[in-house]
Amino acid sequence: MPLVAHNDLPTFTKLKQEGMQVLTPGLANQQDIRELHIGLLNMMPDAALAATERQFLRLIGESNPIAQFFVHPFTLDALPRDESARDHVASYYDSFEQIKQQGLDALIITGANVIGADLSKEVFWDQLIEVADWAHENVTSTLCSCLATHAVLDFRYGQKREKQRRKKWGVYRHQVVNVSHPLVDDINSEFDVPHSRWNTVYPEQFEASDLKILVTGDDGCVHLSTSPDGFRTVFFQGHPEYDTVSLLKEYKRDVHLYIRGEISDYPPMPDNYFSDFNAAVLREYQMRVDLSLLQESPLPEFPEHLLVTNLKNTWQDTASAVIGTWLGLIYQVTNVDRGKPFMDGVDADNPLGL
C-alpha cells in the first residue's frame, strides 16, 4: 500500500506531484490494513538531505503493496547543519528519543560525507553506534547504505574499509551469487547498480565475518550482503536508491569544485553512465571551461539541459524489487507490537529459516 503522509514533510508533496499515491492519515485510518513503521536515519549533508529523503521514500512507496508505510526521518545531533537544514529537521524530523519511544519495524541508515579515512574519528561515530546497536536489539531489520555499511562492518565486525587507487564511480553490472536467499529470489540474475565511493570492504572481509554475500559486481566487489542470521542487518555498498540524475549532479558538483580551484584535476566522467552524445557535449564543455580559465573570460554554463533527456536508468526496477522483498519479509516475521522485533515462534538467530 502507499506511503502515509503523517506529517507535513515536503517530500510527501513532491512524491504526490510525481504521481505516487500518498495517503492522508484520515484515509489511512479507514483501511483495515496493517502498518509498518520505518525509520530513516538521514546522515547526508545539507545539500543532499531532501533528495535522499525522496530517493528512499520513493523506493518504499513503489515496493510490495502489502501495508501502509509510515516513514520516520531522523538525523544525528552531532552532524553539523546550516540554519535552513536545522529548521527542516526541527519541523519534519523525529528525535532519536521519539524513535525509541514509538518503536520501529525497520530502519534504513543512509551514507554520509566524511572528512578522513578513520571513521571512528568522525563526529557522528558514537551516536551512529548508539542508533545501530539499539536497532540491532529492537528492530526487525536494518538496511545500511554505503558509508553506513562501512561503519557497521568496522565497529561490529572489526572490518575496516580500504581506500582504492581509483574512485568507483558510475553504473556497474552485478550478479546474484546466492540464489537461495529470499531477498534476491525474484530479481534478475544480472542488473546494474550505481556506485560512488573511494573506499571498499573486500569480499574476503565479508567472508571472515561470516556475512552472507548475495550480489557481487563484475570486478568482484560486494554490493549486497546480510548479517550471519540472514536478515537482521542488510548491507549495500552501492547506491540503488539513486535517481536517474544523481550521478550527473555529482559530476556537476565536482566540475564546479575544479572551477573554484578546490581540486586540481578536471573530474573524470562516471563510468557507463553518459551516452556517446552526452560524453561529447561534456568534452566540449571541458575545453571551453579550460579556455575560459586560461583567458580569465566568463565561464560557460554547465549544459545540464542538453544531458538530462539522454540519461537512462537501468537499476531502479531491481532496486524497488529488492526493497519490496525486504519489506515483505519484515511484514511476515515482525510482531505487531513494535517493542518486540519478531513474532512468537520466529527464531531471532535465523528469522527466515535459512
**Catalytic residue list:** 146, 239, 241
Burial of 51 (0-12, 13-18, 19+ CB in 10 A): middle
DSSP string of 132-184? HHHHHHHSSEEEEETHHHHHHHHHHH----EEEEEEEEEEEEEEES-TTSGGG
- Hey, CA dihedral for 220, 221, 223, 227, is it positive or negative? positive
Calpha distance 11→71 (Å, rounded): 11
H/E segment holding residue 348: none
The Cβ-side half-sphere exposure at 131, using a 13 Å CA radius, reads: 32
> Rounded to whole angstroms, what are the CA distances from 273 to 55, 170, 254, 295?
19, 6, 16, 31
